[in-house]
Amino acid sequence: MGMKNFEWETYMLESGTVYKAGLGPVAFLVRFRDGDWRISAIEGDGWSGPPTPASDPGLAIHDWSRRIVSPEISADHGRIAIYPELPDRPLVLRPPGPVIIPTGIKTTLYVAIPVSIGVSALEPREFTLGSFPAVFLSSTWMGDQAAGKPAYTLRTDLHRHSSSLSSEPWMAACAVTINNLSPLEYDMNGISLDVGLLGVWADGPQLITDKMVITIKGGDQVLQNTVDSSLPRDYAEAVRLCPPRKEGQNRIHLQSLPGIRKRRSGK
């Protein structure tokens, strides 16, 4: 089924109408009425498209999450923003086999990261409604028991060229530059990416993250993570959609969403 109508955008919803939106494997229903927002994840059926009135919403069979704004609000519409979100934990990469970076080598590899559909209300009040992952990742533990933290396992190949990555619109291309300054070769199997440091860009339907730079130092191979958040060199028309999660709670660059830009420019 087609995906050309789905956009990371802002949408106006009529009060009382149940809307369905989907992006391949993930979909959700949403409704605004009398100051009461309801949203529910549903099984994706491959259909992709923006919020559209649901022909058979089946209100009684879904587990609805409610956000009550105010019983005094009787607006005839609500506005939402739909935006991509990276996973909320670091990712531990598990390629099919060993990927060795010899000592003294600096190279760039590419990995596809699955995103979630983030949904926030904009009018009549602004707050987060929900986040729905396109791909469910397995939980794991990163580091030792005392100083470690929860993470997700991402089983994926590491590609030499971005053109080899999946072109699915729910996958974000991430460039990872490895600089091995240690005296030993380094195996990329099990390396972690702190995706909370990465923002998300869009170049048409393609999602891109900021570039991650990992420097490996010393005999104990200490990893130093830095981020290059400049405009991706290979994507001259890219628009920054979301800043990194670790910049704060407001994770949406609303001014970057096309509907917001048009409205503020008066077009």
Mean pLDDT computed over 207-232: 85
Q: Is 4 exposed, middle or buried (0-12, 13-18, 19+ CB in 10 A)?
A: exposed
What is the pLDDT at residue 190?
87
* Buried/exposed code over 55-80 (b: 16+ C-beta within 10 A; e: otherwise): eebeeeebeeeebebeeeeeeeebbb
2 band by pLDDT with thresholds 50, 70 and 90? very low
Mean pLDDT computed over 206-234: 84
Give φ, ψ of 118 to 5 degrees: -90, 140
**Dist CA 224 CA 196 (whole Å):** 15
**Dist CA 14 CA 226 (whole Å):** 44
Predicted model pTM: 0.83
How many C-beta neighbours within 10 Å does residue 127 have?
10
Phi-psi region of 239 (alpha: psi -120 to 50; beta: other; left: phi over 0): beta
